[in-house]
Amino acid sequence: MRKPPQPSEDPWRPYRTRSDFEFSDIALDACLNEQQTEALIKLINHVVSGQDQFTISSYSELRKVRQSASALLTPVCEAYLLRDG
């Protein structure tokens, strides 16, 4: 009879860290494609290396920032978008 595996101190193995595992889990759950995953990894490494800061602390804050940014964009008349090319 086979014995069940012993609990590990690092249950996220073969990932090097728990954060690596959690990132992978989120990326897969969000169905990120290769380009999106690479962009997110690049951004995380950019922040971690001290080259920039990440200050958004919640989804609610992100929505507020997006709404503020959209107010700065030049409005486009819907009629212009719908006209024949």
The model scores a pTM over 0.85: no
- Tell whether the model's pLDDT for residue 41 goes beyond 90: yes
CA distance 42 to 6: 36
- Tell whether the model's pLDDT for residue 3 goes beyond 90: no
Q: Where are the domains of the chain?
A: 18-82
pLDDT in tens, 5-32: 666 778 889 999 999 999 999 999 999 9
Interhelix angle 34-48/18-29, rounded to 10 degrees, is 140
Burial of 58 (0-12, 13-18, 19+ CB in 10 A): exposed
CA distances from 30 to 14, 24, 25, 37, 47 (A): 21, 10, 9, 10, 21
pLDDT in tens, 46-67: 999 999 999 999 999 999 999 8
